[in-house]
Each structure stands twice: as C-alpha cells, then as structure tokens.
Amino acid sequence: MKNKIQLIEDKLKKSGIKYNLIPLPESLPLDIPSHVMFYKITFSQATATILYKTDKGIVAIQRRADTKFNLEKLKQAIGVKQLEFASESDLRELGTKNGLVPLFGLQVKYFIDKKVLEQGKIYGSSGDGLFGLAIQAKDLPKVNNGQIIDVTERPILGKKRVYSGVRATGRLHLGNYLGAVKGMLALQDDYDCTFSVVDLHAMTTPYDPKTLKDSIRSVILDFLSAGLDPEKCRLEIQSQVPQHTELSFLLATLYPLAPLEDLPTFKDKKAQYPKNVNTALLYYPILMAADVLLYKGELVPVGIDQEPHMEVMRECARKFNQVYGDTFPEPYRFKTMGEYVPSLTGAGKMSKTVEGSFINLNDDFETIKRKLAKVPTDAGTTGGDVPKIGGVATLFVLLALFNRDDMHKKYKQDYMDGKIRYGELKAFLSERIYDELKPIQEKRKYFEEHPKIVDEILKMGNEKCLKIAEETMKEVKEKMGLSI
C-alpha cells in the first residue's frame, strides 16, 4: 500500500511538471508566516489554497500570500452568488484541514488568481504536513487544471505597517533573535517596517548612563548584522523620536491604573528589582503601546512574553478610537517559531538579565559548546516522551529551531528508546547554532569597522520616522482638542 507522500508524488508526476518536496520540521506551525520564515522566501512567493463553500459546491482558489481577494469580483469570476469559507467539517470530508490544503487536485473545481502566476518559483502545501511543495508558478494551471481569474483587491505589499523594538540592554541573545529579529527579517521584504532600539524602556530597570550609548549602538549593530536592511525598513532610536513619549502621555490619560499593576511583567520586574520599582516601570506598557501606535503598526514581531503588553496596546487603540474617532489599528503579535526560547538553566525563558540563561549572538563556537555543556540533563535512560520543562526540554526546543533535517526526530526517538547521548546531541547543536551565528558575527565586524555607514543609516531612519511621527501626532492632537 502506498503512503500519502507516494500518492502525492504520483499525482505530480502524472501532470509532467518539475517539483520539489521540502521536508518540514515536525514542530513547524501550519501557518504561512512560519513557512515563509522556514523557506527563507518572501510572502509573495508563498501561496495558499483557500476552500470556499458556494451555492455551486466547494471550490478551491489559489492566492498569493501577500494579496487579498475582492469578494465581489471573486463571486463574479467564478459565477456564484454565495460564498463563505469552507468549515472544518467540509475540509474533513475532503480529507484535508486548514493549513494543509494541497497546491494541487482535490476533487473540487480550481481557480488560480492571476497574481500567483507573476512569480517564478512558488511554495505551498503538498497536502502532507511533513513536506512543503515548490513548483514553477507557470506550471500551476497544468497541475490542477486550474482556471485563471483576476480577483486581487490590492496587494497588501507595502501597506501593512510593522513595528518592533529591542531594549538597549546589551548584546542580543538567541531569544531576541529567534523570537523577535527573525520575525522582523521575515516581514521586511513585504511590509512597511520600523524597527527600534527602545532605549527609554532600558532605563526602567537599573542601568549605567556611562554605557547606555554603547548598548544602543550595539543593538543597532546586531540588527544590521542579523540582516535588517535599511533599504527595506526604517531603523530608529526611540529617544531620538520624542513623539513616543508625547503620545504615551496622551494614551495614559485614557488607560486605567489598576490593570497595569496586575501585569505579570510588572510583577516579575518588581520581584527582580525590589529597590527600583519606579513609576516608569509601571508605565512601560503604555510607552510600548505608543511606540507601535505612533506608526499605526498592525503587526508586531515580538516573543510570546509580550502578549500581555499587546493586549494593553489593543485596549489603548480601542479606547482612543471610541472616544476620539477611528485613528489606530488594533495591532497583533507576529508569531515566530521561536516565540518562546527557554533558558539554558532549564527554568523560565532565556533572558539578558538571568545569568547563565542565554547564548549571545556574538558567542564563538567554544563559548556555545561550554554553555550547552552546562544545560542540566537527566541520566538519558528514562525513555517515554520528551519532557516539556527542564534542561532536556530546552535542548529539544533549540534542536527544533536550528535543525533543518531529521536530527530532531532522531534524537527524540533516541530519547524515547532510552538511548540518548547528550554529549553527541550538544555537540551537534553547538555546530548548528554556530553555523547560523558565524555569518552574523562576520557582518558585525564590517559594521564595527565602518561607523560612518551606521551613522548614516541612523540619520536616514530617524528622518523618515520623525516625519511619520509628526503626522500621527498632528492627527492625535487635533482629535484630542490640543491644536490651536
């Protein structure tokens, strides 16, 4: 009996086109952003097959991930009066589910939006979560006998605004890189992005004014070395755009005090720095709301630890819109595969402020090896499922994030069979991590040696940011009755 992937290959071969099946890591979520990041492609190369229920039965429409349908146009083009998303049970009946609808032949009528065909190579689902499928866009109509239609409303490209920031508290670590920077990298090609060194946020916990300037510069260098491209996104230093604090005060007039005191992030910081519970610490989420809303950000690539702050941000936007009229979008977090990178100590998350918890972007191979060697493990003979907490769990999360082949599966099997060898796993993992960090470290050297280029990038970014910030503040002040 043939397995699923053999059946898929049979279908593809029958259509006589070239294709690649790309093995996917087990832990990859079924959404498009995760796949875009994994393939290292842009949203315009990713496609989704959407199933609709219509008055003439179920139909499948292929769309480019960076575009949106005009539903009226769509109804006309496919000749139906009613149109709604197919339900989970409809999908089940067709032997598929959300996120897994294949790029080719289910037994329903197929349409392809013209925009998809403007690409060279496109990526979609093979129908089996273990593999992604890449083909030449021009071959798509052959694969599924698709009828070409022209129903894109507008490209989302360049329209959706993205904002994210990293505190100026030293060098970036793997948590910052995987949870935030990787999301920024995935979005910078297709969206209108502003990325910031949030230096004011760094001042809410104890800091040294003598080294703050270096810390700010260091984050910018890490941004650039990791691949943020000033041609594609704006880079700013938060304190250089004074409208951040101005807007935060105005938003604070709308936001109640009590929920801020209840936020887990505030409680954690209070416990961590009992002698430094300043007002700005409490105010942090309002300043963060202002950071994003100043640019009317809709997508925010940050780690899962920021979710409570995202809620405050949405409430600020909602409240403002209710009281002063529609002004701000309600921003959502852009999730990455590394939205929660656990600590090397096996307890809690990887964080700059917890000694022994992190690997820095500038750690060399020996340092990475030494740090991984300290991750606590069990005797390795326990068998059963891989634990969800503790040092072993940390190792497996890192394996899933840095491994693009089958080693994650192999070590998981070894664990379950009770024959895992942590020394070997840690050596393999050290190599994979260093492979990814090495080019970043080399690029950083270049920027360290060319400070004038960095100055120029910051100047350009600041100018562009100030312009947008001024526009937003003009609108906000007028609406709030502050213009004279």
Shorter beta-carbon distance to ligand ADP: residue 74 or 299 = 299
- Determine if 338 is a binding residue for ligand ADP (CB under 6 A): yes
Q: Which of 349, 412, 443, 477 is catalytic?
A: 349
Residue 341 beta carbon to ligand ADP: minimum distance, rounded to whole angstroms: 4
Contact track, ligand ADP, 347-366, x by CB under 6 A: --xxxxx-------------
Shorter beta-carbon distance to ligand ADP: residue 91 or 292 = 292
Q: Which of 75, 160, 182, 269 is catalytic?
A: 269
Q: Which of 270, 319, 352, 412 is catalytic?
A: 352
Residue 179 beta carbon to ligand ADP: minimum distance, rounded to whole angstroms: 2
Shorter beta-carbon distance to ligand ADP: residue 123 or 163 = 163
Residue 464 beta carbon to ligand ADP: minimum distance, rounded to whole angstroms: 22
Mark whether 412 is an active-site residue. no
- Determine if 44 is a binding residue for ligand ADP (CB under 6 A): no
- Determine if 302 is a binding residue for ligand ADP (CB under 6 A): yes
Beta-bridge partners for 198:
167
- Determine if 74 is a binding residue for ligand ADP (CB under 6 A): no
Shorter beta-carbon distance to ligand ADP: residue 321 or 362 = 362
Shorter beta-carbon distance to ligand ADP: residue 146 or 179 = 179
Mark whether 349 is an active-site residue. yes
Mark whether 269 is an active-site residue. yes
Residue 199 beta carbon to ligand ADP: minimum distance, rounded to whole angstroms: 11
**Which range, of 35-43, 57-65, 86-94, 173-181, touches ligand ADP by CB under 6 A?**
173-181
Catalytic residue list:
269, 349, 352
List interacting residues with ligand ADP (CB under 6 A). 166-167, 169, 175-176, 179-180, 302-303, 305-306, 338-341, 349-353
